Every structure is written in C-alpha cells, then in structure tokens.
Amino acid sequence: MDNTDLDNSKARSAEETLRKVNQDLERLQEELAHQLNQDGQPLGDKGARLLEEIRTLEGLAHRLRSQIEKPQLTVEPIPPSATREKPVNRPPTPPPTPKPKPKEGQVVTGLLLAFLSACVLSLFNVTLKILLKLSPEPRLVLDMFPVDGLITPGLGNSLLILFLRMIVVMLVFPILATFLYPSVWSDLKRFIESNDYDHMLKVVGSGFFLFLSQVCIYIAIGNIPTGIAITIFFIYPIVTVFASWALFGDRPNLARIIAMAVILAGGIMALPQGGVEGNTQLGISAAIGAGVTFAGYVLLVGMGTKKLHPIPFSLVSFAAIFVFSGISLMFPLPPELGVVIEPNTQMGLLIGGTILGLLTLGSYLLNNFAIRFAGPALASIVGASGPALTALFSLFLIAEALKMQQWVGLGLVTLGVLGMSLERMLASKKA
C-alpha cells in the first residue's frame, strides 16, 4: 500500500471515528439537559462529570477534523519490522465507574443544609423588609427592638440596595468559587476565548433576567407583606413550563397541569385585599414581574450550563447583575422614582448592604453543599418551602401577620411547587 492509499484509509477511519464522536456528544448533551435543576440551582457532581466528558469529546473531535483536513502532513513511514509483528488486541477502555449513591447519612446532611439555605434566604427577605422605610414609626424586631427603616421602596432605591449587595458578593464570591471549583478561572478563560457569541449571550442574558427579577422582588417586598410577595413570585414554575412547551415542545403532562392549577389557585387566594402598607397594586405587579423574569433566567440557565460549569456560570451571572445595577444607577430617573437617601443613613445602608450580601453568599454556599450531599432534586424539594418559611420568619421577627385565607393560599402554592419538584425527580429517574 503506497502513501496515497494510506492517507485515504486514515482519512476514512478518522471520518468514521468523528461521526461516532459527534453521536456521543449529542447523547451526552441530552443527558446533561435532563440533569439540569429547573429551579435555577447549580448542578450536582453528575452534571460536572458530564461536562468533563463533553469537553474531552470536543477536543477529540477537533483533532479528528484536523486529521481529515490535512492528512498529508501526518504520514509517518512504517518500519519494516512493524509489518512482521502481529497487531496487539487491546481490550476496549471500560466505561467510567459510576459514582456510588450517597449514603443515608449524607442525604440527611444534604437535606438539613438545604433547609438551612432556605432559612437564610428567608432571613434575607425579612432583613430587606426591615431596611425599607414604610412609615415614620420604627419597626419592632422580635417585638422588643425598635429599628428605623433606612430607605423608601422605590425603583432607584431598589437599584441602590441591589448594587450595595452585589459589591459584597463580587468581593467574596470569586474566592468562594475558587474553593468550590478550582478550575473556575481556566473555564472562564476558555469561555471568553471561545468566541461562541450565542453561548455568551445566553450566559449574560441569564444575568440580565436575574437582575430584573431582583429589582422587581425588592419593589414587591416594599409594598406588600414579605411572605405574600415571595408566594406570588413562586408562580415562576408555571411560566417556565409554558415557555418550555412553546420553545422546546416539552408538553406538560397531567401531573404538571394539576400542580400548576394548585399554584395558580393558591396565588390568587394569597393576594392582599388592601389595608396594608404601601401600594398594593404595584406590589402585586412587581411580584408577578419578578416571577416571570426569573422564569426567563431559569430557561437560559438550562441552555447556558450545557457548556459552562454552574459555578463559573454563577460568577458571570453575579458580575452581570453588578454591572447592570451600576449602569442603571447612572441613568437619570424621575424624582418620584430616583434615588432618595435621607441624611445620616449612609452608614446604615452600607451595613445593610453588607448583611444582605453575606446572607446571599451563605445561602448559596449551603445550597451548593446540599446538592453535593443530597442531589439537586431533593434540594429543590426542600427549596419549595421558601414562601412558608418567609411568612413564618416575617411573623416571628417583625409581626407581619397574614389572614387565614392567605395562609391557605400560601400552603397551596407550596404544595404545588413541591409536586412539580417531585414530578421532575421521578421523571429524571425514569429517563
């Protein structure tokens, strides 16, 4: 066989191998999509392993394409002795050993960490409520400590609080990300140098939707009871399901339809009927807007984390929120919507922003370890307790009471979100 025949044979072999590699890539990407946490939380260890396998196959595919395009540059002479040797039949490389399932003690630890993460997030919501000034009278914390609000709940002030919080997050989270995922910086470098603008748009776009959601929920908490604002916000799974159906053809089954009906009924029952501090209609509209934009964030997370590990993905999202909030503060707003800071409150705002930032990081860290120990499905089930925990924290810390009808509505929303989380977990096990 001359060199030309050898080149053609190697090219055909490379093309066949490349075809198989592309098939494996498609299979792994579909499997990774099934592992995504639809509640916007990071992926577990299985998702990280799938990402590593995808990167390895992408590198192999790139080398094979180079061989097909330039086979004449890689021809090596065959020594005469090699023709007399019998080929060595190496056994095929065994598939990677699946990681053993978490032990019962680890699962319990993970569930406890997920519950603590939900508690910290609820405490964040109540702390935000305490910082907001809704009346001239101070607010009693634990029915004993009077605390004056620092800032009114307008658009500009919400942007300011968010910006102060993100300063703390961006100072600490890069260190935390390096501890949680040592390859974070190499992944970010590869992400920036990839020139994959479609992927970059999805990652940055997710940060933009999360930014909008945060601004809306700040305005909502400032105008209606904290627990009710979070309850209305939890309509986002309904929006996610319908958007997935419209965009990806993922038609909801009967279980999801029932869960969505329960969430919708609970949300309607929980609506405030007036007699509360603030603008009720504005608060309800802002809470709905927060849920809708958070659904957009969840969808983009599902598409963006196929090529980027969840921790560098979160770092980019946090950086995007920091930039968007900072830029938004530079634009002039009407006086009734602009930033209004009362005298002698600057130091209190800095302290409040620091507390909010630390609570954000604490909730993220606890949830990350909860997913490692118990898995994303179980962690998301515990996360469904968010509205109930927020309402309970508001009741005990600042005596923010709800009517019986609102408690029933809150319970229905919690049950509906819990049902959707269970349905996703069972569906992923069948897949």
Q: Which residue has the tokens 């109540």?
A: 126
In whole angstroms, give the CA distance from residue 114 to residue 378.
9
Lowest average pLDDT, out of 12-26, 261-275, 366-380, goes to 12-26
How big is the chain, counted in residues?
431
Positive or negative torsion for Cα 95, 101, 102, 108: positive
Number of Cβ within 10 Å of residue 213's Cβ equals 24
186-238 pLDDT tens trace: 988 888 888 888 888 888 998 999 999 999 999 999 888 999 999 999 989 89
CB atoms within 10 A of CB 88: 5
- Rounded to whole angstroms, how far apart are CA atoms 252 and 240? 11
pLDDT digits (tens, 9 = 90+) for 223-277: 889 999 999 999 898 998 888 888 888 888 888 899 999 999 999 998 887 656 6
Neighbours of 347 (CB within 10 A): 9
Q: What is the pTM of this model?
A: 0.74
Instruction: Give phi and psi for 140, each to the nearest 5.
Output: -85, 120
Residue 87 has pLDDT above 60, yes or no: no
Write the CB contacts of 177 (distance below 8 Å, at least 6 apart in sequence).
184, 311, 312, 314, 315
The yes-or-no verdict on residue 122 having pLDDT over 80 is yes
Contact 368, 315 (CB under 8 A): no
Q: What is the DSSP string of 369-421?
A: HHHHHH-HHHHHHHHTTHHHHHHHHHHHHH-----HHHHHHHHHHHHHHHHHH
pLDDT, residue 202, reads: 87
Nearest C-alpha neighbor of 329 from the set 209, 135, 154, 172: 154
Can you say whether residue 316 is alpha, beta or left, with left for phi > 0 and alpha for psi between -120 and 50 degrees? alpha
User: Which tens digit of pLDDT belongs to each residue from 318-347?
Assistant: 999 999 999 999 888 888 788 888 888 888
Task: Kindly report, residue by residue over 140-184, the tens digit of the pLDDT.
Answer: 788 788 888 788 888 889 999 999 999 999 999 999 999 988 988
Q: Which helix (H) or strand (E) holds 145?
A: strand 145-147
Q: In 70-193, which residue ranges form alpha helices assigned H by DSSP?
A: 80-84, 104-131, 155-180, 184-193
Classify 151 as helix, strand or coil: strand
Q: Of the ranges 92-106, 278-292, 331-345, 365-379, which one carries the lowest mean pLDDT score?
A: 92-106
Answer whether residue 79 shows pLDDT above 50: no
The pLDDT mean for the chain works out to: 79
* Type of residue at 136: P
